[in-house]
């Protein structure tokens, strides 16, 4: 059999350009970033040879529409032009011992210029000698090489003629904005030349990377960058990925689903206004302004490669945030309280996943109780047995009874609360958790002796309140000055569930567990004991039971309907009139 020659793939340049412009790079400005990055990398090669070398980048926005990116970096020799500019995917920055120093590595960045131009011209003079070269690549995949007669300064010039549809990007104001956005903190000065004027557009030493800058200066800077003030700011540094910068604490509570804006740089080049997965998932209250010198970017250069290095950097940042919070507890309690006020929800999220944070923060975290919001430290100082309810419905029920009984009950229905309580109690054996439900509370009330008087009392009261679907019973409970306690499913939530299919289903599922509306009379209460004695006076008994029933509804903040209110008013009027008549009779 005849042996076939090895053939080379052909690349359709137009297809490649479409791929880059439409699918890899998310916006047409990308060429500015790619050209700046090439200038920076070229200068870096010379700086690696001579540390004191003064690199600079000059960008010319000419009247005729041409735009020039010029650097005084290493430049390219003829053979390097053939090797690196004419082969897509070839890069001088990948297989070298200094590869980590460079931003580029894929060998495709220059092609991003084809999004805005049909022709890229590169004029270069290598610092390593040789003649100057001029390479002109076209969007149709052809290129020409020429060798200018005149001398060129060391470095490279990339010249573009914008396509008509993109000329708006080259308007002075728009262009300056794009240039500043990407180049703002690049390490070499970038000068923009326009109409004979030259202006420096970057700050090679940004204040947020300067360790001497004060907290106030950092806060002011953050307000300018993000157009929003911050509650606080602190510095971070990670060994993995070499991330340096500042983290701002947001002054408002954020939703878990809302994305905050950040500024993340890779080797001083703006990478993204997203956190690029540098922040742990619980750190919603943080905004970052950071630069990573040791992480890898994806080909689009808009996010980091998701590798172990990024994972470790994120872990270190998580530790830094926790250290910051710990530091606040120890050194700046007013700031910690402010933080807690705004971000306790997020701090609960951290503590629910991290025992160390749980131990540290639990005492300060707020929980809803039947006596209002209280810190956990306060709750546990009242009793080593922590009473709690798991859902809001139970809390509403129990709150009323517990209040009357003098109990402190935590509403652990909110996200993280039950987890936090359970975890914390597991870590602190001196504490016990006691889950309270309305039926369990009622079960704890003492049974009355099964005598005739009590049974007939219950039967009569039941008969009177039957029309409201309320069951009556007589029990012993404390405090003795509470004559009755009413427990029932909220009427309001029943109505709501009827309108909400999901709630309605949940309601049906729960209904097996729920108590029927129950009015429990306290057999130890003086008024109830008197009521037991007058139960044969039907009218008086009826009025008092009606009044006690509606009063207990009102006390428990249950909805009272018009029929119940009418009954209450009527019984009260009857009782008052009877009492006044008694008085008149007494006078006569």
Binding site for ligand ATP (CB under 6 A): 34, 37-39, 42, 71, 73-76, 84-85, 91-93, 104-110, 156
Strands of 83-147 (E only): list them. Answer: 117-125, 133-138, 143-146
* Shortest Å, Cβ 34 to ligand ATP: 5
48 vs 494, which CB is nearer to ligand ATP? Answer: 48
φ and ψ at residue 71, rounded to 5 degrees: -130, 160
Q: 273 with 261: CB under 8 angstroms? A: yes
**At closest approach, how far in Å is the CB of 354 from ligand ATP?**
38
Q: Is 451 annotated as a binding residue?
A: no
8 Å CB contact between 248 and 287: yes
Distance CA(280)–CA(582), nearest Å, equals 76
Q: Could you tell me the smallest distance in angstroms from the CB atom of residue 169 to ligand ATP?
A: 19
Report how far residue 473's alpha carbon sits from residue 21's, in angstroms, rounded to the nearest whole number: 77
- Least distance CB 322 / ligand ATP (angstroms): 35
Of 54 and 530, which CB lies nearer to ligand ATP in the complex structure? 54
Q: Which is nearer to ligand ATP, 37 or 352 (CB)?
A: 37
Q: Which is nearer to ligand ATP, 295 or 410 (CB)?
A: 295
The answer to whether 232 and 332 have CB atoms below 8 angstroms apart is no
| Cβ distance to ligand ATP smaller for residue 58 or 71 | 71
Is 411 known as a binding-site position?
no
Neighbouring-strand partners of residue 70: 58, 157
Distance CA 372, CA 501 (A): 32
Closest distance between ligand ATP and the C-beta of residue 39, in Å? 5
70: its two tokens? 């010029």
Cα distance between residue 407 and residue 191, in whole Å: 71
**Smallest gap, in angstroms, from Cβ of residue 135 to ligand ATP?**
10
CB of 178 to ligand ATP, least distance (A): 17
**Cis, bond preceding 479 (omega within 30 deg of 0):** yes
Nearer to ligand ATP, 75 or 507 (CB): 75
Work out how close the CB of 258 gets to ligand ATP at its nearest, in angstroms, rounded to a whole number: 32
Closest to ligand ATP by CB, 68 vs 540, is: 68
Instruction: Show the tokens assigned to 503.
Output: 């709630």
For ligand ATP, which is the closer residue by CB, 73 or 483?
Answer: 73
Q: Hey, which residues does 386 pair with through a beta bridge?
A: 433
Please state at what angle helix 452-465 crosses helix 526-533, rounded to 10 degrees.
Answer: 90
Q: DSSP for 317-369? A: HHHHHHHHHHHHHHH-HHHHHHHHHHHHHHHHHHHHH-HHHHHHHGGG-EEEE
Identify which of residues 110 and 283 has a Cβ nearer to ligand ATP in the complex: 110
- Residue 8's Cβ-count burial label (10 Å; 0-12, 13-18, 19+) is exposed
In angstroms, give the least distance from the CB of 76 to ligand ATP. 5
Question: 10 and 97 in contact (C-beta within 8 Å)?
Answer: no
Q: Which of 268, 317, 274, 262 is nearest to 291 (CA)?
A: 268
For residue 134, how far is the Cα from the chain centroid?
Answer: 51
Q: State the nearest-atom distance from the C-beta of 167 to ligand ATP, in Å.
A: 23
Is residue 301 annotated as involved in ligand binding? Answer: yes
Instruction: Identify the CA nearest to 218 among candidates 202, 207, 229, 226.
Output: 207
Q: Nearest approach, Cβ of 108 to ligand ATP (angstroms)?
A: 4
Measured CA to CA in angstroms, residue 499 lies from 292, 516, 560 at distances of: 52, 21, 20
Smaller CB separation from ligand ATP, 137 or 507 = 137
The nearer residue to ligand ATP, 38 or 522, going by C-beta atoms, is 38
Q: Can you list the positions of beta strands (E) in 183-262?
A: 190-194, 197-200, 232-237, 243-249
CA 436, CA 405: separation in Å to the nearest integer? 13
Binding-site residue ranges for ATP:
34, 38, 71, 301
Binding residues: 34, 38, 71, 301
């Amino acid at each position: 059999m005849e042996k076939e020659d090895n053939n080379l793939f052909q690349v359709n340049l137009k297809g490649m350009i479409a791929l880059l412009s439409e699918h890899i790079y998310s916006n047409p400005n990308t060429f500015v970033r790619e050209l700046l990055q090439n200038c920076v990398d070229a200068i870096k090669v010379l700086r690696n040879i001579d540390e004191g070398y003064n690199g600079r980048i000059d960008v010319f926005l000419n009247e005729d529409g041409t735009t020039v990116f010029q650097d005084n970096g290493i430049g390219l020799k003829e053979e390097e032009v053939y090797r690196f500019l004419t082969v897509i995917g070839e890069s001088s920055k990948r297989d070298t011992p200094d590869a980590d120093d460079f931003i580029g590595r894929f060998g495709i960045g220059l092609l991003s210029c084809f999004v805005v131009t049909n022709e890229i011209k590169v004029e270069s003079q290598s610092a390593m000698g040789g003649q100057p070269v001029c390479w002109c690549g076209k969007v149709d995949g052809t290129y020409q090489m020429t060798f200018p007669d005149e001398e060129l300064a060391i470095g490279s010039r990339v010249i573009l003629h914008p396509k008509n549809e993109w000329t708006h990007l080259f308007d002075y104001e728009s262009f300056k904005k794009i240039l500043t956005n990407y180049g703002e903190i690049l390490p070499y000065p970038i000068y923009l030349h326009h109409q004979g004027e030259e202006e420096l557009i970057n700050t090679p030493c940004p204040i947020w990377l300067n360790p001497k800058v004060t907290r106030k200066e950092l806060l002011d800077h953050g307000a300018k960058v993000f157009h929003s003030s911050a509650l606080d700011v602190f510095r971070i540094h990670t060994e993995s990925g070499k991330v340096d910068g500042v983290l701002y604490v947001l002054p408002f509570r954020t939703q878990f689903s809302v994305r905050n804006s950040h500024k993340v740089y890779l080797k001083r080049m703006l990478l993204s206004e997203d956190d690029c997965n540098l922040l742990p998932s619980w750190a919603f209250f943080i905004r970052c302004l950071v630069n990573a010198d040791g992480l890898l970017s994806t080909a689009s250069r808009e996010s980091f490669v998701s590798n172990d290095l990024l994972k470790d950097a994120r872990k270190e940042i998580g530790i830094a945030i926790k250290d910051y919070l710990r530091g606040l507890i120890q050194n700046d309690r007013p700031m910690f309280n402010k933080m807690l006020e705004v971000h306790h929800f997020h701090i609960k999220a951290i503590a629910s996943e991290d025992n160390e944070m749980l131990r540290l923060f639990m005492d300060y975290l707020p929980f809803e109780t039947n006596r209002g919001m209280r810190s956990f430290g306060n709750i546990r100082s009242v009793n080593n047995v922590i009473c709690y309810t798991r859902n809001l419905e139970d809390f509403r029920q129990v709150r009323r009874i517990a209040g009357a009984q003098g109990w402190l009950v935590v509403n652990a229905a909110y996200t993280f609360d039950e987890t936090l309580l359970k975890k914390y109690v597991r870590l602190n054996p001196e504490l016990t958790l006691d889950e309270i439900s309305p039926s369990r509370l009622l079960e704890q009330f003492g049974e009355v002796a099964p005598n005739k008087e009590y049974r007939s009392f219950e039967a009569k009261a039941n008969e009177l309140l039957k029309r409201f679907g309320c069951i009556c019973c007589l029990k012993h409970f404390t405090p003795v000055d509470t004559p009755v306690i009413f427990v029932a499913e909220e009427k309001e939530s029943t109505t709501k569930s009827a309108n909400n299919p999901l709630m309605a289903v949940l309601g049906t599922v729960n209904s097996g567990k729920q108590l029927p509306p129950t009015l429990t009379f306290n057999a130890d209460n003086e008024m109830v004991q008197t009521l037991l004695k007058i139960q044969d006076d039907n009218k008086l008994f009826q009025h008092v039971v009606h009044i006690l029933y509606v009063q207990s509804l009102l006390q428990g903040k249950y909805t009272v309907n018009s029929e119940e209110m009418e009954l209450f008013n009527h019984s009260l009027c009857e009782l008052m009139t009877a009492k006044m008549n008694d008085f008149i009779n007494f006078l006569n």
